[in-house]
């Protein structure tokens, strides 16, 4: 039996996943990674410690799974995107990596906006994405103003997976899925000199970026040193890989024009697959390049299942169980719940950073509206499920597309009630794909194409796509949810001036 080993480096958790030749999960190993934060928006990782944790996680996975490293055909990599992982002329970290959720460049943009009030709109028109302060170019601008001596000594800016690949192979390169959201020219999947001008960045900084390759190419081979650190066989091929969002889309089989998929976990990603760059709605959401030469129009609600967790934490007494266990227990009694009696509207903007989809407002808050004396904790919890589903509809409606079905993954896909509520709210069938760890699976797909086991991403995704379950809308709830959705929209629009 032959295998693929995928590395999925999240912000705070690093996973190593083994798949067999049919991309069925065989074993998974994970380790927590410490993120350094402060009150000023810092979010950093010590790069050498990160690699040490990653290498130990790989070795642990191989040892515990008892898989012979000689049978691992290739290594796939995915990870948290953008940020800045800088190395010097000796190819060693020159400072900590700055992550995608670092917000210290906000002050830089506040200054630039005073001189150019439409800077956010101009960047969106090129990149298709709302500006994220933790993207690579905003971070470089922050370094220029705050750590210029260090900036001058930087040889290359890498991303998370680039750093892992370098430590495995001793080869340095970027990939196109990251290059285009730096922010860059999303149509041409490369840097935009216009954005460099808007940020007042010197063109010489372009020399601090290595060659960008396709995600399905081979990025190098495991070195002798990396082999001793990880347990991988010397010479094992390592693919270039893709950022976590496009890698997950590939793993889900979202490769056809017009497909829609929602990943509902801690955050809520709703994306639409397009053969062409898709810029609507203006100044809202994100646009990613997919390794399948497609684009992912992505509408994000930063808070996903955290809304449910908060309700459980504050309104339920079962403290001995984990939140997922409590939810599973509570959901059993929701099987025959009368939705028509629940008139509570829950706005699921449960985070400190506001929202960028389907509208841009950094001051949004979560809201529970319409409470009456007869309501209890079950009503509030059920309303939070509905609220998140209504927010998903809000995101897709903003795209003005014709949805026929939706692929649902993430923690919420395992819920006993969430998929059915979502089907009722959207009025379409919800498809739960078979499998798990789709980001890692997407990395394995890319690795399989890199070593020529498959001729294309279309082939590998289509041949290995399986459906676990399908939910169809309950037409009895159509009028109820149509009315509730309009109330939901009215409430969130009327709160704009209060937030």
Q: What is the CATH number of the domain that holds 275?
A: 3.30.420.40
H or E element, residue 493: helix 478-494
Reading the block at residue 476, the tokens are 């009895």
* Residues 200, 235 within the same domain: yes
Question: What is residue 76's DSSP assignment?
Answer: E
Residue 456 belongs to some domain of the structure:
no
Domain-located, residue 101: yes
Torsions phi, psi for 6 (to 5 deg): -115, 140
Ranking 198-202, 266-270, 295-299, 369-373 by mean pLDDT, the lowest is 266-270
Residues 326 and 405 in one domain: yes
Residue 381 within a domain = yes
CA distances from 454 to 222, 467, 493 (A): 21, 21, 49
The number of folded domains in the chain is 2
Give the up-direction half-sphere exposure of residue 456: CA atoms within 13 A in the CB hemisphere.
6
Distance CA 32, CA 12 (A): 6
pLDDT digits (tens, 9 = 90+) for 367-398: 999 999 999 999 999 999 999 999 999 999 99
In a domain, 457, yes or no: no
Does 233 share its domain with 269?
no
Last residue of a domain, one of 202, 218, 246: 246
Helix ranges restricted to H, 262-361: 306-315, 323-332
Average of per-residue pLDDT across 288-314: 93
Phi (first) and psi of residue 406, to 5 degrees = -140, 130
Q: Looking at the domain assignment, is residue 292 inside a domain?
A: yes
Q: Are residues 242 and 260 in the same domain?
A: no
Q: Tell me: do 237 and 365 sit in the same domain.
A: no
Residue 81 per-residue DSSP state: -
Query: Among residues of the chain, what percentage have pLDDT more than 90?
Result: 90
Give the DSSP letter of residue 185.
B
Q: Does residue 96 sit in the same domain as residue 123?
A: yes
Residue 102: alpha-carbon gap to chain centroid: 16
CA distance 68 to 77: 20
Residue 60 has pLDDT above 70, yes or no: yes
* 344 has a pLDDT exceeding 60: yes
Cβ partners under 8 Å of residue 23, min gap 6: 4, 435, 441, 444, 445, 464
Considering the domain boundaries, does residue 76 fall inside one? yes
Show which of 213, 246, 279 is a domain's final residue: 246
In a domain, 194, yes or no: yes
Task: Kindly state the tokens that stand for 277.
Answer: 């760059």
Q: Residue 260: what are its φ and ψ, rounded to 5°?
A: -125, 140
Query: Quick check: bond before 128 cis, omega within 30?
Result: no
Q: CA angle, 163 as apex, 161 and 168 as ends, to 5°?
A: 95
List pLDDT tens digits, range 139-168. 999 999 999 999 999 999 999 999 999 999
- 224 plus 298 within the same structural domain: no
Cα radius of gyration rounded to whole Å, the chain = 23
pLDDT band at 49 (very low <50, low <70, confident <90, very high): very high
- Please compute the mean of the pLDDT values over residues 461-472 and round it to a whole number: 95
Q: Are residues 303 and 226 in the same domain?
A: no
SS3 369: strand
| Domain shared by 357 and 491, yes or no | yes
In a shared domain, residues 381 and 291: yes
Model confidence at 335, pLDDT cuts 50, 70, 90, reads confident
Boundaries of domain holding 7: 3-246
H-helix or E-strand spanning residue 479: helix 478-494
Angstrom distance (rounded) from CA 446 to CA 452: 10
Among 246, 271, 294, where does a domain finish? Answer: 246
Q: Indicate if 310 and 226 belong to the same structural domain.
A: no
Is residue 365 situated within a structural domain? yes
Which tens digits make up the pLDDT trace of 390-431? 999 999 999 999 999 999 999 999 999 999 999 999 999 999
Task: Tell me, rounded to whole angstroms, the distance of Cα 276 from its chain centroid.
Answer: 21
Query: In this prediction, what percent of the chain has a pLDDT beyond 70?
Result: 99
State the residue for tokens 């900084």.
205
| Tens of pLDDT, residues 241-272 | 999 999 999 999 999 999 999 999 988 999 99
Lowest mean pLDDT among 179-183, 256-260, 329-333: 329-333
End-to-end CA distance of the chain: 57
Confidence of residue 44 (pLDDT cuts 50, 70, 90): very high
Residue whose structure tokens are 């459906």: 467
Rounded alpha-carbon distances, angstroms, from residue 129 to 120, 137, 146, 182, 373: 9, 13, 26, 10, 44
Q: What is the DSSP track for 152-177?
A: HH--EEE-HHHHHHHHHHS---EEHH
pLDDT digits (tens, 9 = 90+) for 481-499: 999 999 999 999 999 999 9
Pair 288, 230 in one domain: no
d(CA 143, CA 499) in angstroms, rounded, equals 32
């Amino acid at each position: 039996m032959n295998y693929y080993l995928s590395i999925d480096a999240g912000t705070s958790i690093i996973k190593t996943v083994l798949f067999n030749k049919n991309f069925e999960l065989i074993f998974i190993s994970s380790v927590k990674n410490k993120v350094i934060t402060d009150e000023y928006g810092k979010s950093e990782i010590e790069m050498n410690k990160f690699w040490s944790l990653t290498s130990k996680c790989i070795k642990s996975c191989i040892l515990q799974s008892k898989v012979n490293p000689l049978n691992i055909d290739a290594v796939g990599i995915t990870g948290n995107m953008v940020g800045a992982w800088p190395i010097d002329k000796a190819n060693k970290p020159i400072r900590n990596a700055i992550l995608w959720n670092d917000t210290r460049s906000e002050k830089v943009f506040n200054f630039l906006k005073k001189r150019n009030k439409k800077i956010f709109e101009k960047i969106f028109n090129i990149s298709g994405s709302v500006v994220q302060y933790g993207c690579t170019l905003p971070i470089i601008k922050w370094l220029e103003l705050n750590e210029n001596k260090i900036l001058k000594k930087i040889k290359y800016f890498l991303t998370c997976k680039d750093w892992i690949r370098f430590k495995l192979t001793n080869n340095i390169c970027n990939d196109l899925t990251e290059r285009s959201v730096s922010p860059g020219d999303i149509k041409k999947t490369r840097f935009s000199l216009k954005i460099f001008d808007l940020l007042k960045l010197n063109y010489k900084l372009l020399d601090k970026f290595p060659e960008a390759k396709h995600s399905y190419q081979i990025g190098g081979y495991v070195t002798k040193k990396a082999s001793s650190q990880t347990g991988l066989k010397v010479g094992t091929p390592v693919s270039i890989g893709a950022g976590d969002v496009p890698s997950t889309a590939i793993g889900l089989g979202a490769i056809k024009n017009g497909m829609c998929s929602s990943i509902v976990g801690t955050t809520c990603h709703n994306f639409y697959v397009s053969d062409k760059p898709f810029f609507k709605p203006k100044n809202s959401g994100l646009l990613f390049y997919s390794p399948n030469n497609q684009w992912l129009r992505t509408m994000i609600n930063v808070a996903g299942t955290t809304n449910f967790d908060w309700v459980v934490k504050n309104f339920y007494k079962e403290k001995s169980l984990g939140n997922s266990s409590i939810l599973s227990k509570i959901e059993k009694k929701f099987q025959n719940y009368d939705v028509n009696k629940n008139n509570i509207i829950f706005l699921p903007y449960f985070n400190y950073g506001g929202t960028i989809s389907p509208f841009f407002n950094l001051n949004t808050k979560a809201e529970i509206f319409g409470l009456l004396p007869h309501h209890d904790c079950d009503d509030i919890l059920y309303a939070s499920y509905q609220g998140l589903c209504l927010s998903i509809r809000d995101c897709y409606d903003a795209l003005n597309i014709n949805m026929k079905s939706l692929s649902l993954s993430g923690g919420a896909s395992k819920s006993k009630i969430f998929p059915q509520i979502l089907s009722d709210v959207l009025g379409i069938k919800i498809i739960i794909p078979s499998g798990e760890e789709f980001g890692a699976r997407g990395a394995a797909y890319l690795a399989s194409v890199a070593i020529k086991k498959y001729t294309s991403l279309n082939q590998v995704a289509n041949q290995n796509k399986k459906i676990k379950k399908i939910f169809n809308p309950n037409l009895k709830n159509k009028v109820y949810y149509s009315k509730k959705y309009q109330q939901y929209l009215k409430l969130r629009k009327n709160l704009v001036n209060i937030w």
